[in-house]
Amino acid sequence: MQTVNFLGRVFPEPAQITIPFGESIIWEAPELSLSMEFTCRVEKSLIDVACRVPKYKPGHFDAIYMRALDLSRAQVDLVAFKMGLGATVMLETFVDPVGAKTPIVLKDDRLPTLCTAFTLEQGFNELLVKVIQSVPLFMALRDLVSAITVPHASPVDCARAMDRLKHLVAAPRSKDAQAWKQLRNALQIDEAYLKYITDHSAGPRHGRPGYTPGTATSEVTRRAWIIMNRYLEYLKRNNVQLPISEFPLLVGP
């Protein structure tokens, strides 16, 4: 057996949360033929999640990380509920079986190239003003960033972001079907392309348990990123429909 650890903190740190929980929890990942045994300890807001596996492989990181985050959040959230405390869990360091430490930076390298509406040097300040002035828009951006932070929650986060964009584009008091159509028309999106996002979120959004393959969550996030980028382009053009000559119809199964 080999052991890996995830080290992190509970914020706000002055809360100094301690959870004397020493029970181990077994989690199975059938898609990887992997059995994981977790223990999580929180002492004075410092988190140490240990995971024992038969043999650790780098390809196991995502599956182990997601469950380590789930376990630590579940413990802290239960305590926070009892205390009436707004608490956040952050896992910051990964320790491999030989003790080597690596900072955890959650980043999807496919996504930066999909953001073409601005760069940090050009167009950023103008869009920043518009984002700050629109609560639904900056909440939609937060949803998409959360989709990277907690990957297996990405279908719900991405679908919620699309819902927010729908209301930003649609005329007031539009019925739901009309609102979705107005969003698709404004941003040149085929109905099936957008439904891929909303359909994959349906089960978890309504509290139904189930497993969404990583390939699907990855594609949901990619599509949501593209649509958000198109909305920012739409915003730059003072809410005028994107020209199809520059923005070909997004078509998908």
Q: What is the pLDDT of residues 64-77, one digit of tens each?
A: 998 999 999 999 99
pLDDT (0 to 100) of residue 200: 86
* Domain shared by 75 and 186, yes or no: no
pLDDT (0 to 100) of residue 208: 55
Q: Which residue has the higher pLDDT, 123 or 32?
A: 123
Residue 9, pLDDT above cutoff 80: yes
The last residue of one of the domains, among 103, 131, 154, is 103
Assigned domain for 247 exists: no
Q: Which residue has the higher pLDDT, 108 or 150?
A: 108
Our count of domains for the chain comes to 2
* Domain shared by 39 and 81, yes or no: yes
* Domain shared by 126 and 217, yes or no: yes
Residue 214, pLDDT above cutoff 80: no
pLDDT (0 to 100) of residue 217: 85
Handedness of CA 121, 140, 144, 77 (dihedral sign): positive
Mean local confidence (pLDDT), 79-106: 95
Q: Which of 46-55, 111-120, 146-155, 177-186 has the lowest mean pLDDT?
A: 146-155
Residues 6+ apart with CB under 8 A from 246: none
Residue 204, pLDDT above cutoff 70: no
Assigned domain for 245 exists: no
Residue 207, pLDDT above cutoff 60: no
Mean local confidence (pLDDT), 75-97: 95
Q: For residues 76 and 42, is the Cβ–Cβ distance under 8 A?
A: yes
Residue 206, pLDDT above cutoff 80: no
Tokens representing 251 are 């078509």
Q: Which of 30-39, 79-88, 115-124 has the lowest mean pLDDT?
A: 30-39
* Domain shared by 12 and 74, yes or no: yes
- Mean pLDDT, the chain, integer: 91
* Domain shared by 99 and 187, yes or no: no
pLDDT (0 to 100) of residue 77: 95
* Domain shared by 152 and 43, yes or no: no
Mean local confidence (pLDDT), 126-134: 95
> For residue 232, what are the domain limits?
112-236
Q: Which residue has the higher pLDDT, 26 or 207?
A: 26
Quickly state the pLDDT bin for 252 (edges 50, 70, 90).
confident
* Domain shared by 87 and 136, yes or no: no
* Domain shared by 33 and 64, yes or no: yes
The last residue of one of the domains, among 61, 80, 103, is 103
Q: Which of 17-26, 117-126, 158-167, 188-197 has the lowest mean pLDDT?
A: 17-26
Quickly state the pLDDT bin for 91 (edges 50, 70, 90).
very high
Q: Which of 21-30, 126-135, 161-170, 228-237 has the lowest mean pLDDT?
A: 21-30
Q: Which residue has the higher pLDDT, 150 or 40?
A: 40
pLDDT (0 to 100) of residue 213: 61
* Domain shared by 83 and 141, yes or no: no
